């Protein structure tokens, strides 16, 4: 019976694409999906999908009349994806200099090849979402356009026993700037967001992703970023929702003097599993990358940071840094860190580090001795631990919003431990 459930989902993907000709991007993608990653695969050894494979589900057919559940609004311009489908009727009209379109079949095939040329070619979200997405949506910022207003994207919807497949292509042309916040708030068995970001010469993107899906939702996010000469990408992820959330980003620094900051926080409680996996490819000289990840874990939760930095033979003067720290507030929680350097050049500055532990007893004693109760002291120390990375990663105008989002989950975890 278990074997049948696993095979049923594979068959449902093949059936979903059966009406397309064999060279259509959907058919090509479906051929490459033959099941979930084996737990013996090194990339998935710390984040196993056995429980997901036992869920009987189908790819969703979007309800284009479904209303939005979100009531938060931080950005000046709002884009909505419901059941994986872009909803123009619920979205803002974008300002001058930004365009949004649905890719046609030829353009979708080009998108397919760009993703498949990356190291995400065998990621399940790559193949399944390219097979089953309602459409590939492209957001383009024109050359020499400085977008001062924040663009906010909401991904919502779904149902139990269905999978959801939003696909987004973000392109920043030469000397353009954009700030983007993406919110994931699904009530479904599985969501598989797929994204390609291209930042051309001297382009700059500031990106925040907030993963806050329903407690029973699996989120397998796959993101490929391509940086050209003097491009800048500042990315921050806050992972706090879902029963299982894996945010995987692969970034390719293809132009000299490209700069990447790929930071994140995961806050895990109950039986949640949160995974931040990254791979950064320095393929040319004089580029900089920095990864800082911090986690707080309570209950029976588990957290993972897997970070890889690869420096090609010609990529001299590379500066690549990784650091992961996790605090356990429960004896039943656990965290795993797997930083990795793969260096083929000799004139580089690269380093990595990882720590996992409990709160410092001396710091707790100091606060207790000043009359601060134990629970309050623990909360203060963890807040400082998180505030440090949020200060470094998020613009001041959004700092309080992001910190409050983190604080709401932190409070729930600490209350469980009382």
pLDDT (tens digit, 9 = 90+) per residue, 242-264?
Answer: 999 999 999 999 999 999 999 99
Assign 363 a pLDDT band (cuts: 50, 70, 90).
confident
Q: Does the pLDDT of residue 2 top 80, yes or no?
A: no
pLDDT (average), residues 338-351: 94
Q: What's the order of all strands across the beta sheet hosting 318-328?
A: 85-86, 77-82, 151-157, 177-186, 204-211, 232-239, 259-268, 288-297, 318-328, 348-357
pLDDT at 254: 97
Q: How far is CA 296 from CA 134, 185, 411, in A?
A: 36, 21, 11
pTM here is 0.95
pLDDT band at 4 (very low <50, low <70, confident <90, very high): low
Q: If DSSP codes are grouped into helix, strand and coil, which group holds residue 397?
A: helix
Backbone angle region of 317, left / alpha / beta, with phi > 0 → left and psi within -120 to 50 → alpha: left
Q: Where are the domains of the chain?
A: 2-255
- How many whole angstroms separate alpha carbon 249 and alpha carbon 302? 20
3-state secondary structure of 242: coil
8 A C-beta contact, residue 311 and residue 280: no
For residue 83, pLDDT beyond 50: yes
Nearest-10 crossing angle of helices 105-116, 124-132: 170
For residue 15, the 8-state DSSP code is H
> Each residue of 381-395: pLDDT tens digit?
889 899 999 999 999
pLDDT score of 366 more than 80: no
Q: What is the DSSP string of 327-364?
A: EESSTT-EEEEEEEEEE--SSEEEEEEEEEE---HHHH
C-alpha distances in Å from residue 18, one per residue of 12, 29, 131, 164, 190? 10, 12, 10, 19, 22
- Is there a contact between 155 and 110 (Cβ–Cβ < 8 Å)? no
For residue 418, the model assigns a pLDDT of 64
Given this model, what pLDDT does residue 252 score?
98
Give which of 225, 238, 228, 288 is closest to 266, Cα–Cα. 238
What DSSP assignment string belongs to 71-110? Answer: ----SSEEEEEETTEE-GGGSPPPPTTEEEEE--HHHHHH
Q: Which helix (H) or strand (E) holds 396?
A: helix 396-416
1 pLDDT exceeds 90? no
> What pLDDT is attached to residue 378?
83
The pLDDT of residue 372: 84
């Amino acid at each position: 019976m278990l074997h049948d459930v696993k095979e049923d989902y594979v068959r449902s993907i093949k059936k979903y694409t059966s009406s397309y000709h064999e060279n259509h991007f959907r058919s090509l993608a479906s051929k490459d999906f033959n099941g979930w990653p084996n737990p013996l695969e090194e990339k998935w050894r710390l984040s196993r999908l056995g429980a997901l494979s036992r869920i009987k589900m189908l790819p969703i057919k979007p309800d284009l009349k479904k209303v939005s559940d979100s009531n938060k609004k931080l950005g000046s311009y709002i884009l909505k994806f419901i059941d994986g489908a872009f909803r123009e009727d619920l979205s803002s009209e974008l300002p001058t200099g930004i365009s949004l379109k649905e890719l046609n079949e030829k353009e979708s095939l080009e998108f397919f090849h760009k993703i498949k040329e990356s190291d995400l070619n065998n990621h399940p979200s790559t193949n399944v979402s390219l097979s089953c997405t309602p459409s590939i949506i492209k957001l383009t910022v024109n050359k020499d356009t400085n977008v001062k207003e924040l663009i906010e994207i909401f991904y919502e919807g779904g149902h139990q026993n269905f999978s959801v497949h939003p696909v987004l292509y973000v392109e920043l042309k030469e000397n353009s700037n954009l700030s983007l916040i993406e919110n994931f708030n699904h009530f479904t068995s599985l969501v598989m967001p797929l994204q390609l970001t291209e930042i051309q010469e001297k382009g700059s993107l500031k990106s925040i992703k907030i993963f806050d899906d329903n407690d029973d939702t699996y989120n397998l996010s796959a993101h490929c970023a391509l940086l050209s000469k003097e491009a800048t990408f500042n990315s921050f992820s806050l992972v706090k929702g879902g029963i299982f959330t894996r945010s995987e980003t692969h970034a390719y620094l293809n132009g000299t003097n490209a700069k990447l900051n790929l930071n994140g926080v995961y806050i895990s409680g109950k039986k949640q599993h949160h995974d931040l996996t990254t791979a950064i490819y320095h393929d040319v000289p004089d580029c900089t990358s920095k990864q800082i990840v911090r986690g707080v874990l309570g209950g029976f939760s588990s957290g993972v940071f897997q970070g890889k930095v690869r420096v090609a033979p010609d990529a001299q003067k590379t500066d690549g840094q990784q650091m992961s720290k996790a605090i356990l507030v429960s004896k039943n929680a656990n965290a795993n860190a797997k930083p990795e350097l793969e260096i083929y050049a000799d004139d580089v500055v690269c380093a990595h580090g990882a720590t996992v532990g409990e709160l410092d007893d001396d710091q707790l004693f100091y606060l207790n001795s000043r009359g601060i109760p134990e629970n309050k002291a623990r909360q203060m120390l963890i807040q400082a631990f998180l505030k440090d990375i949020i200060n470094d990663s998020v613009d001041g105008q959004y700092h309080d919003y992001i910190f409050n989002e983190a604080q709401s989950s932190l409070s729930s975890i600490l209350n469980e431990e009382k």
